[in-house]
Amino acid sequence: MTSTVDDAPSQAPEDGHPSGDERFALVDKHLKRVRYEQDQLIETLHVAQDVFGYLSEDVLMYVARALLLPPSMVYGVATFYQLFTFEAPGDHACTVCTGTACFVKGADGIVRTVGDAYAVAAGATSDDGRLTLKTARCLGSCGLAPVVVLDGTVHGHLDAAEAVALVRAAVDGGGES
Ligand code: FES
């Protein structure tokens, strides 16, 4: 009749994170390294986003608890920075810089054309999950304006048609019918 620790449900993997999701173990590792310092919040959010691909509500709560910070504060900090994303990303990511130099050189047209081609609004992921379209303020490469970052590769001096062709090559590449 006594209840011991051994009686507790033991569904956790033998050598894994109690949640069963090993990605949290990677976040824990970082948290330990920075000694759970509250001023490491932004760095921790970066690590969590790198690990999970985006910051879900669960992950934000997890970070808040680990750093003993109010969830509202963690959410506030995360939403303040454009670098953080709160939705699962698509298979491919296209970020169009809409800073002044890029805007002047037609960035808006690129956003519109790519968005139309994949029926996705800026800041969202297409329904089929293949493409996430984002905009960013100056990416620091104004000499290349307008700048598009596709799956981590920087492309410059693109017009809308060239941008769509690039995106199509990445998203539909190999899928010619
Ligand atoms: S405005 Fe686009 S890179 Fe600077």
**Residue 15: pLDDT band with limits 50, 70, 90:** low
Let me know whether 97 and 158 are in one domain: yes
Tokens representing residue 62 in the block: 């997890």
Let me know whether 113 and 73 are in one domain: no
Poorest-confidence range of 17-26, 91-100, 107-116? 17-26
User: Would residue 106 count as lying in a domain?
Assistant: yes
CATH number for the domain that contains residue 96: 3.40.30.10
User: Would residue 56 count as lying in a domain?
Assistant: yes
Q: Which domain holds residue 40?
A: 19-80
- Residue 131: count other Cβ atoms within 10 Å of its Cβ: 26
Each residue's pLDDT tens digit, 62-84 = 999 999 999 999 999 999 987 89
Q: What is the pTM of this model?
A: 0.64
Ligand 1 atom closest to Cα of 100? 1
Let me know whether 47 and 69 are in one domain: yes
More confident residue, 111 or 177: 111
Let me know whether 96 and 151 are in one domain: yes
How far is 66 from 60, CA to CA, in rounded Å?
A: 10
Query: Can you give the pLDDT at residue 81?
Result: 84
Tokens 């992950």, residue located: 59
Report which of 79, 81, 115, 80 is spatially closest to residue 96, judged by C-alpha positions: 115
Which of 48, 80, 112 terminates a domain? The answer is 80
Which of 55, 80, 105 terminates a domain? The answer is 80
The set of protein residues with a Cβ atom below 6 angstroms from ligand 1 is 97, 99-102, 138-142, 145, 147
Average pLDDT, the chain: 87
Let me know whether 130 and 160 are in one domain: yes
**Domain count of the fold of the chain:** 2
Let me know whether 98 and 167 are in one domain: yes
Question: Distance from the CA of 44 to the center of ligand 1, in angstroms?
Answer: 27
Question: Distance from the CA of 103 to the center of ligand 1, in angstroms?
Answer: 8
